[in-house]
Amino acid sequence: MRGMLKSLKIWSFGLALRKFMFMAYYQNYLLGSMQRQNVETRKSAMEQKPEVTDYAAMMAILYSMVKQDCIMQEKIVTSLSLKSSSEELESYCLMWSLRPFVDDEIMCEAWKLLP
């Protein structure tokens, strides 16, 4: 049982680390694109419609988040058994409800892209 909890902690740490790396990459991408524009261009870019590349990048990001979330849920479901302790079940419930791969800020940005 301790081995299972330890492997779950390592697994959840790996998930959190991947999410952090992904968010850092996405933020660097956004900052880099903003720094390439001057102040006047930024104002006009905010008023313009999103380009196809903006939609494609957001779709790729959303797909990655949902895929990682589904993989996590699948691993949780396959590890459940009648012999699972209450501590294990609590940690699984916590992981399930936290949805560590789905970032609310990115989801809000995605909704803003929709007409």
Q: Residue 48 has which token pair?
A: 């313009």
Taking the model in full, what pTM does it have?
0.56
pLDDT at 4 > cutoff 60: no
Under DSSP, the state recorded for 114 is -
Q: Model confidence over 56-80: pLDDT tens digits?
A: 888 999 999 999 999 999 999 998 9
- 22-32 pLDDT, tens digit per residue, is 666 666 665 55
Output DSSP code: residue 38: -
| Helix intervals (H) in the chain | 2-35, 39-47, 52-79, 86-98, 104-113
Rounded to an integer, the average pLDDT of 5-26 is 58
- At position 89, the amino acid (one-letter code) is L
110, 69 Cβ separation under 8 angstroms: no
